[in-house]
Structure 1
Amino acid sequence: MLPNLIKLLTGLILFCSFGLWGQLVKNDTLTRLDEVILTEEVIPKKAIGITPSSTVGTATFERFNPVDVPSAINQISGVYVLSGALNTNRITIRGVGARTPFGTDKLRLYFNGIPVTNGTGFSTIEAFDLENLGSLEVIKGPKGTAYGTNLGGAILLNTKLAQEGRTRLVNNFTAGSFNMFKNNVSFSHQEKGFGIKVSYNHLETDGFRQNNRFSRDGVLLNSNVALSAKSTLGVVINYIDYTAQIPSSLGETDFREDPRRAAANWLAARGFEANRYTLAGLYHNYQLSDQLKNTTSIFYTYLDHDEQRPFNILEEITNGFGFRSMFEGKLGKAEYVLGGEIYKDEYEWGIFRNLFRDNNGNGSLRGDQISENKEFRTQLNLFGTFTYPITTQFSVQAGLNFNQTEYDFRDLFNTGDANTSAERNFDAIFLPSLGLSYSFTNGRLYANLSRGFSNPSLEETLTPDGIINPDIAQETGTSYELGGQVRIFRKRLLLQATLYRMDINNLLVAQRVGEDQFIGRNAGETRHQGLELDVKYRWAISKEMLLTPYVSYTLNDHSFVDFVDGDDDFSGNPLTGVPKNRINSGVDVAHTAGFRLSLTHQYVDEISLTDANTLRSEAFNVFNARLNYRTPIGNRFTLGLNFGVNNVFNSRFAQSVLINAVGFGGSEPRYFYPGNDLNYYGGVRLTYRL
């Protein structure tokens, strides 16, 4: 069935491409425009040394609606984003993080080299506007020694400044279905010794479902100045203010009959979350000598979060402080990196009763306070890598990461014997990595052996009674990876393949014991093994047109090796929350007349929803299309137009799922977050170059 599906998709994509573009090739007088790039993007690699990574850039982002961050990330094999809403994204890498109920953990997120993952390991990708990014790089698994060695890996977000000697003012306006409106205006200037980019973005949409409205404003400032020939000082400020209604998940009946519905209790409470997030960082680059340079950053993060939920109201404030410094040097033919980062945050939260049932249908109403807490969290990472070229073709890289994590929990609500204040300090852990790389004509082979870890989340460190769980331990795992890439047929065809296996011990399980109550525990061992395959072909049909079909395939063979839950033995069952097969395919067609057509497709296999493997989601296919046109207007202006269609065949599918859902009060368990039905968008981009 799967091979037939691939053949069908490839044929459909090629047929549509030739049919739509056949009319455009007839004009022989078309000339090449500077705004149309018919070669691959050159994106600087941030991963250290020979560490393998996968990167997508603006060409990938422009295949999709600018609010659709998950689809852009899902182009990377081995990475899957489950998206319940614009504010509810869960990123999994090679199955790691799939058991997390809400949000993204077990990986580290960096923005322009600054760590933005909080003290318990949670990352918020929706705090960053896709239109402000120049690239997104993923290090899969724990091999990124300089980026935390988390079992899931690391994601590196980077903004893009103007080219040297350029000044640009850009306004990008997009409107679409569900009353969606988005505008991003940016100013960028780059000259020798100074660069700056300032952008403001606004987004609002009613959403596909009931109680699904989203509104966001954001500001980004990124600037650098050369203090001398050897010294550069930079600043980055990212501010996001958004309010998002929460429709929550649905049971199977509502998902099939009316996926636009919100969960009844969330609709009655008019549940929502409001966030104000600030990142402020100062970084300094210094070239100490021809053989040694240093990059140091200090940073501050602030989050003010208010969440009106039917079971209670959560109010929280997080203040985070950090420091990161990295030395990169050479010793003869060898290269080395030494550095460290420390992150401390203060997390304050209070929980209040929600009296929405007594509020005459007007939604949430804050009642009495039932808890007040504060937690101090510290995480220290020290790291080093040493890369040595044994020959001109063969290199070896050794790395070591040291992690120390401490939690200090304060109960500010209860007194005397009822007070639950406690400390939880995890044992220091050393995490080695060994990598090999062999380069040959038009390609290379690589292998990696590395150790990684994941800290328990806040919910997993505390019992439902708010007491520190002294028995919870960090997840640890060993990753084995073998891969390679090659360019053949005059470098037109790119083939990349990776085989991996990761054995994880002390699996962290968040067991749901109430509507908003979880208890964490360690539950045995999982085995993550799989294949990642990427194929891309660049075909110059003529001097004016380039056709680029591609396929990305992920095989996830993930299972519980040893998992006993009370009287139930789930050993041997597939890992919950992970599709076994996933395909992303598509074709880009670029023409020197300024046109670019992108047809994309995603196939997601069924997902096991319970540890007992008694219920699975349905497999689905989703097709999207986007047409871009860009042309100069005079010497200084460029006009860009785009139109896109998402879910072309109006498929019903679950864009995210909850695992091991439990029904309360006789209600049906709510496993499913419906994806949007057929929808449209279009945009206008105006660029002014000084």
Structure 2
Amino acid sequence: MRLLHCTLILLLLSVFATTAIGQTSLTIIDAESGDFIPSVVVNIADGRRYLSDERGHVSLDLIEKTNGLFTHIAYEPLRTVVNPNSSITIKLEKKTNNLSEVTITSFESERSLMEQAAAVSKVDQAELYRFNETSLVNAFNTKAGIRLEERAPGSYRVSIRGSSLRAPFGVRNVKIYWDGIPFTAPDGTTALNLLDLTNIQGAEVIKGPAGSIYGAGNGGVISFTPEKIDQNKAEASMMGGSYGLVKYRVGVDQMLESGSLSASYVKQQSDGYRDHSALDRSVFQLQGRFEPSDRQRISTRLLYSDLFYEIPGGLTAEQVAENPRQARPGSATQNASIKQKTLYGTFVHDYEFNDHWSNHTTVYIQTTDFENPFNLDYKKETQYGYGARTRFTLNDQWGTFPVRLLFGGEYQFANTGAQNFGNRNGQADTIRFADDLITTQGFIFQQIEINWTPSLLMTLGVSENFSRYDISRTVDASTGDPYAAERTFDPVIVPRIGLSGKLTDYSSIYGSISSGFSPPTIDEVRTNEGSINLDLQAEKGINYEVGYRGEYLDGKVQLDASAFFFKLDETITTYTNEQGVVLFRNAGATDQKGIEAQLDYFLLRNPAGLIQELKMGHAYSYHHFRFKDYVNDGEDFSGNALTGVPQNNLVNKLDLITRTGIYLNLTYQWVDEIPLTDDNTMIQDPYQLMNARLGWRKNLGSAWQLELFGGVDNLLNEQYSLGNDLNAFGGRYFQPAADRNYYGGIKVKMRY
């Protein structure tokens, strides 16, 4: 009898164990081809991790149903519920490569790229990390019509279709957003160098004016998206390279029950290729994302950036020939440099009222301490500011036609205390003048989108814009008397109309007419020698554009091409006085005609093979930009090529990814000659660049990922200037870029 009882107990325990712990068998395949996918990381909610084998198989011991996260370098992450004691086939989608699958949020409307009636380029995370990870320059320069310049490490200039004509330094005439938050100051300038690559997951770039919904800026819009947190992980990376380059990063991401927290710190230093061109930047970021309900999402972010870089200054052609690594005489003695500390606090709120109505609102506050000793003077500024943007969206029907209505507004305010001193051997000397500056800008916008047919979408948008500068001069050593000046720009109405039509599911055409305007920045109105130019007018332009997008051979070949004509009035150009101070003036009009094309294709695409991807890409820009009706001091520059803009630009790319984890990125760029003066008498010769990066990325078990990488920039050892000083006094046009240089690094990621 006792033996029978023991037997029954053992049987019951066996049944209980079988019920409590269910063996689950997973087979992970490609959703399109059905091929098995090896090396997929499977993260279970209780913290366990598994790795799929060569046949895409994973065995799990589960007590109850649980959430699983499936990740792979070549596929989109997938979250799904996994049940115990079952056999499940998991299908993963390839990471978006096809134009018809790319979702664009430009013009505040989330649609596929095929439906967008505008020239939009998307820069994804893989493209950002094809290079040395020290700046945005190389990745953005692979896109047609976009050109980033770096006159010295940390000194950026952004040109979208020639929009840097009026920017001797800094980023102007381009509107920049970060997570939907206005990152461009209300005076029209952007401190793009505050952001590190790790603060960005990707970007969308609208080429040409987009003022109907984004306000001022004829050059276009760059919208950065920060990295999204979808798993618990800790990361550390370190790299080094030529000319004293050192960069390291640490970061941690923590998932919550209904959100996430993350923190990161980045440090980058270099001595620079030229004398007096060192860089030292630290960036700390803390962010949280929360979902209080199914209809509500909140994100907050704290960004602190401590930036210092030296300014070597422009050289003449003779100085470049003598020694391209030298600094402009006097730059080191006067400690020409930028020291900037900035703190940003941001709040983003999304709310869905119902199935038709939603709202997206962003708010920021910021404070900045800025110090800029230069060869001719010494500038100090302290600034605080705030701003907000809100958008309401309605998705509904107008009769039988689907309609999307958007309306909202944006407002920004900044108060700056600015002081200009003499510069005595790098130290602030006697004060020359001091100003209290208040800049405000705001606009309201409305946009309607109507699907007249399933393949024809029309977009109508308009904004009403307001801006004002208040300058209170508290100290003026030349006159001894304080005074005040103000400039209120007349309200500007900026309309846009766009039509996009699908020819097939995999091709479309579009056309648009869009207006734009760009008031002068505070640095253009209030110049370094103390003058205040209230007569400087805002630029106004209109852009006509047509384009075609198509993909062929199941998305293996993709083409995106456009042609445009942009007519700009009251063009602002630079000139220098006898002291070498950069000043600004309106220069009549410009006619800007261009063709831009991007062609990408897969030579091989087999996620289950040894070579998973072999891809090539080509980007070409033809810019026939000319001055029109431009007469200055009796000289007629009408018909001359636009200063600072190459007529032709070609980029070729090759990317290789293997199953073993080895990858290769090759980039070749050819840039046409660049006129450096309005009279076109000084030209920078054409140049060609080649960059290469080789790396190995591997999952080590289920929790660890290791990456080793190295590369060469300027492989052909070309002598060139990446960012010239236009119309420079004394012939100091050139800012020589680094010759052949090397880098290498390591990244470690732990999932927990």
TM-score when normalising by structure 1: 0.91
Q: Does 1:173 align with 2:242?
A: no
Partner of 1:47: 106
Map Cα deviations across residues 257-301 of structure 1 (whole Å, 9 max, x no partner).
311111111022232221101211112111111101111122112
Mark the CA change 1:463 to 1:586 in structure 2 (over 3 Å): closer, same or farther. Answer: closer
Give the Å deviation of 1:215: 0.8
Alpha-carbon separation, structure 2, partners of 1:43 and 1:260: 43
- Given that residues 153 and 277 in structure 2 are in contact (C-alpha distance below 8 angstroms), is that contact kept between their aligned partners in structure 1? no
Q: Does 1:289 align with 2:354?
A: yes
For 1:128, the aligned partner's letter is L
Partner of 1:196: 261
Give the Å deviation of 1:417: 8.0
For 1:328, the aligned partner's letter is T
Partner of 1:552: 619
Give the Å deviation of 1:528: 1.1
1:538 counterpart (597, 602, 606): 602
Mark the CA change 1:412 to 1:84 in structure 2 (over 3 Å): closer, same or farther. Answer: same
Partner of 2:65: none
- Given that residues 202 and 216 in structure 1 are in contact (C-alpha distance below 8 angstroms), is that contact kept between their aligned partners in structure 2? yes
1:34 counterpart (57, 69, 72): 72
Mark the CA change 1:339 to 1:62 in structure 2 (over 3 Å): closer, same or farther. Answer: same
Give the Å deviation of 1:518: 3.6
1:146 counterpart (213, 218, 226): 213
Give the Å deviation of 1:39: 4.2
Map Cα deviations across residues 98-119 of structure 1 (whole Å, 9 max, x no partner).
2321111011110110001112
Give the Å deviation of 1:541: 6.2
Equivalences for residues 335-350 of structure 1 within 5 A: 335-350=404-419
Give the Å deviation of 1:371: 1.1
Give the Å deviation of 1:188: 1.7
Query: SS of the residue aligned with 1:255?
Result: helix
Q: Does 1:528 align with 2:566?
A: no
Give the Å deviation of 1:682: 0.7
Give the Å deviation of 1:56: 0.7
* Mean CA deviation greater in 426-435 or 543-552: 543-552
TM-score when normalising by structure 2: 0.83
* Mean CA deviation greater in 81-90 or 566-575: 81-90
Q: Does 1:651 align with 2:718?
A: yes
Query: SS of the residue aligned with 1:72?
Result: helix
Partner of 2:38: none
1:330 counterpart (392, 395, 399): 395
- Given that residues 691 and 714 in structure 2 are in contact (C-alpha distance below 8 angstroms), is that contact kept between their aligned partners in structure 1? yes
Mark the CA change 1:481 to 1:149 in structure 2 (over 3 Å): closer, same or farther. Answer: farther
Mark the CA change 1:239 to 1:463 in structure 2 (over 3 Å): closer, same or farther. Answer: closer
Alpha-carbon separation, structure 1, partners of 2:669 and 2:208: 23
Q: Percent identity?
A: 27
Mark the CA change 1:220 to 1:51 in structure 2 (over 3 Å): closer, same or farther. Answer: farther
Give the Å deviation of 1:679: 0.7
Alpha-carbon separation, structure 2, partners of 1:670 and 1:550: 36
1:185 counterpart (246, 250, 258): 250
Mark the CA change 1:660 to 1:407 in structure 2 (over 3 Å): closer, same or farther. Answer: same
Give the Å deviation of 1:162: 2.3
Give the Å deviation of 1:539: 2.3
Partner of 1:688: 750
Equivalences for residues 440-479 of structure 1 within 5 A: 440-462=504-526, 466-479=530-543
For 1:81, the aligned partner's letter is L
What root-mean-square deviation, in Å, do the aligned CA atoms of Structure 1 and Structure 2 show?
A: 1.9
Partner of 1:504: 568
- Given that residues 315 and 733 in structure 2 are in contact (C-alpha distance below 8 angstroms), is that contact kept between their aligned partners in structure 1? yes
Map Cα deviations across residues 471-530 of structure 1 (whole Å, 9 max, x no partner).
221100000010011001232110110101100001112332144534332220001110
For 2:610, the aligned partner's letter is E
Partner of 2:727: 660
Structure 1: segments with no counterpart, 5+ residues: 1-28, 357-363, 664-668
Partner of 1:18: none
* Mean CA deviation greater in 416-425 or 642-651: 416-425
Partner of 1:9: none
Alpha-carbon separation, structure 2, partners of 1:66 and 1:199: 16
2:379 counterpart (285, 301, 314): 314
For 2:520, the aligned partner's letter is P
Map Cα deviations across residues 344-396 of structure 1 (whole Å, 9 max, x no partner).
1012111111111xxxxxxx122111111111011011111100000000110
Alpha-carbon separation, structure 2, partners of 1:369 and 1:132: 38
Give the Å deviation of 1:44: 4.5
Mark the CA change 1:459 to 1:160 in structure 2 (over 3 Å): closer, same or farther. Answer: closer
For 2:711, the aligned partner's letter is G
Mark the CA change 1:652 to 1:291 in structure 2 (over 3 Å): closer, same or farther. Answer: same
Mark the CA change 1:593 to 1:650 in structure 2 (over 3 Å): closer, same or farther. Answer: same
Mark the CA change 1:500 to 1:31 in structure 2 (over 3 Å): closer, same or farther. Answer: farther
Query: SS of the residue aligned with 2:683?
Result: coil
Map Cα deviations across residues 159-204 of structure 1 (whole Å, 9 max, x no partner).
11222xx211111211111111101111123455212221100001
Alpha-carbon separation, structure 2, partners of 1:466 and 1:159: 39
Alpha-carbon separation, structure 2, partners of 1:230 and 1:97: 42
Number of residue pairs matched by the alignment = 648
